[in-house]
Amino acid sequence: MTTTVTAPAVSPAPAHPQRLPVYFISHGGGPWPWMPQMAPAYANLATSLADMPRQIGRTPKAVLMVSAHWEEPTFTVQATPQPGMIYDYGGFPPETYQIHYRSHGSPALAQRVAGLLAQAGIAVEADAERGYDHGMFSPMRAIYPEANVPVVQLSLRRGLDPAEHLALGRALAALRDEDVLIIASGLSYHNLRAFGPQAHAPAKAFDDWLADTMLQATPAERTQRLIDWEAAPAARLAHPREEHLLPLMVAVGAAEGDQAVRVYHEDAFMGGLAVSSYRLDA
């Protein structure tokens, strides 16, 4: 059930003296943290995700998660205090359809997010029934395995316009000063029909372009290159459909003037993929 949101009179939480970073992470496939047989393939990703609390240096008040696995006609924020689970994958062992990541939601954060978007002139709705999808619970199992940090999900908007999602991130930037960790969850390569060694060349071409864009370009150049991402080498081979790339636009919008650091990289993930994750901070 969704409801349209107008700008509420919501006061921001007291600011923390140090602004939090923003992350764009690769979330991996399906329920991988619950599958020991997948541990070797995911060892490097798991290590990078588990290191995020050390990098941050404190436990945030809450996490706002933008997952590639939730799209709506209007940006929609998850507003339930105790989200259920959405097993949005197929072909995995029966027990993986019984797993739970039992973090709490945060209606107060959902209201704050809705207020920020409405104040920025961005249409927003609230969903009081939406559960957690695996773009959230799989990486969060590695980041905060005890599920002791409230998590609110925010959808992408159908149409997947890069500029709209950069604007979304800009509207959310204030949360970084309110002890809310923004995590954009996708994959830097997502072509399910081209995995393995045959995908190495296009994956590397796109990953090299992405690294240059994130690490070498000026903030203004970075923003423009992401808007024009389809001009990148092997862009449509790496992302036949761009829902797993669009969370990056939100992350960059929320940290538009900040530097990026690559916090995870592999050249032969799942047999041949070049993949990367990034942190943005001052």
What domain range is 252 assigned to? Answer: 2-281
**pLDDT of the residue at 272:** 85
Residues 6+ apart with CB under 8 A from 194: 202, 237
Tell me the per-residue pLDDT of 215-226, one tens digit each, with 9 for 90 and over.
999 999 999 999
| Size of the chain in residues | 282
Q: Residue with structure tokens 């590397």? A: 204
Q: Which amino acid is residue 8, in one-letter code?
A: P
Residue 259: name the closest of 22, 15, 18, 17 by CA.
Answer: 22
- Model confidence at 21: pLDDT above 80: yes
Higher per-residue pLDDT: 2 or 188: 188
End-to-end CA distance of the chain: 38
The helix (run of H) or strand (run of E) holding residue 24 is strand 22-26
Residue pLDDT, tens place only, 164-203: 999 999 999 999 999 999 999 999 988 867 677 778 899 9
Instruction: Write down the pLDDT at residue 199.
Output: 82
Confidence (pLDDT) at 268: 86
Q: Say if residue 1's pLDDT is above 90.
A: no
Backbone φ and ψ of 2, nearest 5° = -115, 150
The pLDDT > 90 percentage for the chain reads 86
pLDDT tens digits along 247-277? 999 999 999 999 999 999 999 888 889 999 9
pTM of the model: 0.93
Q: Tokens 């020991």 identify what position? A: 36
How does the average pLDDT of the chain come out, rounded?
93
Residue type, 204: K
Question: Is the separation of the CB atoms in 153 and 67 below 8 Å?
Answer: yes
Residue of higher predicted confidence among 199 and 5:
199
- What pLDDT, on a 0 to 100 scale, did the predictor assign at position 7? 40
Tell me the C-alpha distance between 141 and 154, whole Å.
18
> CATH number, domain at 76?
3.40.830.10
Does 37 score more than 90 pLDDT?
yes
**68-100 pLDDT tens trace:** 999 999 999 999 999 999 999 999 999 999 999
pLDDT above 90: residue 2:
no
Please tell me the total count of domains within the chain: 1
Q: How much is the pLDDT for 189?
A: 87
pLDDT of residue 165: 98
Give the tens place of pLDDT for each residue, 55-71.
999 999 999 999 999 99
